[in-house]
Structure 1
Amino acid sequence: MKTKLILAAAAACTLYAPAIGQNAPQHIVSLYRAAPGQQVALLKWMAKQDQVSAAAGVPASQIYVHTSGDSWDYLVINPVTTKEQDDAFDAAAKKMGVTNGPRASIEFRTMIASHTDTTANGPQTAAQILAALGEK
């Protein structure tokens, strides 16, 4: 049974194709719903993460605040980082006394009720996507 699962996983990996003929994702798009009463704490936590990012030479998050519609509070766009950028972030966080690594994830989850993460490429226009597809 294990062999069948391994073969199936290997086949799935070889058949994987990025969406719309694109390479590896460039951004992580996240939707966050703050835990009740934790909006300010969550924003302060994200601001501290942006300070660490700046110290590490990693771009800051782009945050969009919900105004109407669905139940999310913040839409956050971050670049997909390299291992070197992740290491620089961890070093900067440690130097600044900011929680990092697995403990940071636990700390973060005390401030959110739910979240989703999606990878995406962009920003692009429809014409740029069509050109990448060889369409006019």
Structure 2
Amino acid sequence: MTLRLLTAAAAMALAPITAQAHEDPDAVPKTTDVLVEIYRIAPGKHREFLETIAKYDEVNARAGLPPRQLYVHRDGASWDFMLIQPAKTPEGKGPALDAAWEEMGLPSGPDFFFSFRSMIAEHSDTFATGPISAADYLAKAAN
């Protein structure tokens, strides 16, 4: 499952939803469940981490999926990189992702864990729903 979460990318665009994007102003926009991963990278491993993520994004491309969203720290908190991607692999894409992973010769199982974690000092995973405005989220609530 970790492999699929790391290789899955947006099944739909995760661009911010705005009022102008609504064809029906009374409609509540569809949202996506996403996985937000925040990483603090081990010293000297930043380039290696980004090169690894680029390989995972190549797996996505080979499977017909877009890359995960990457955010790079500029100032403030102690994180280095944040990734946002769907919480689940899109239906029917699992076999293509697995095949692309294998074609690229990327590690799996315990070898995946050891190689990926060698670059990470600390990380957190959070599942979220969005993007959505506060008003649209409230509209989804039972009255």
Aligned equivalent of 1:43, options 50, 64, 79 = 50
In structure 1, distance between residues paired with 2:114 and 2:95 = 19
The change in CA–CA distance for 1:97 and 1:110 in structure 2 (over 3 A counts) is same
Q: SS in structure 1 opposite 2:70?
A: strand
**Bigger radius of gyration:** 1
Q: Which runs of 5+ in 1 are unaligned?
A: 1-24
In structure 2, distance between residues paired with 1:103 and 1:53 = 20
In structure 2, distance between residues paired with 1:86 and 1:101 = 16
CA offset at residue 87 of structure 1?
A: 3.3
What do residues 56-115 of structure 1 show as CA deviations (whole Å, max 9, x unaligned)?
A: 123311011111111100011011223743332121110122223442222110111010
Query: Counterpart amino acid of 1:117?
Result: D
Q: SS in structure 1 opposite 2:85?
A: strand
CA offset at residue 134 of structure 1?
A: 4.7
The change in CA–CA distance for 1:60 and 1:75 in structure 2 (over 3 A counts) is same
Q: Say what the alpha-carbon RMSD is for the aligned residues.
A: 2.0
Deviating above 4 A after TM superposition, structure 1's stretches of 4 or more consecutive aligned residues are: none
Aligned equivalent of 1:75, options 64, 71, 82 = 82
Larger fraction in helix: 1
What do residues 7-66 of structure 1 show as CA deviations (whole Å, max 9, x unaligned)?
A: xxxxxxxxxxxxxxxxxx711001001100000000000000000011112331101111
The change in CA–CA distance for 1:109 and 1:103 in structure 2 (over 3 A counts) is same
TM-score (norm 2): 0.70
Q: Which runs of 5+ in 2 are unaligned?
A: 1-31
In structure 2, distance between residues paired with 1:77 and 1:94 = 23
**2:127 is aligned with 1:131:** no
Aligned partner of 2:106 in structure 1 is: 98
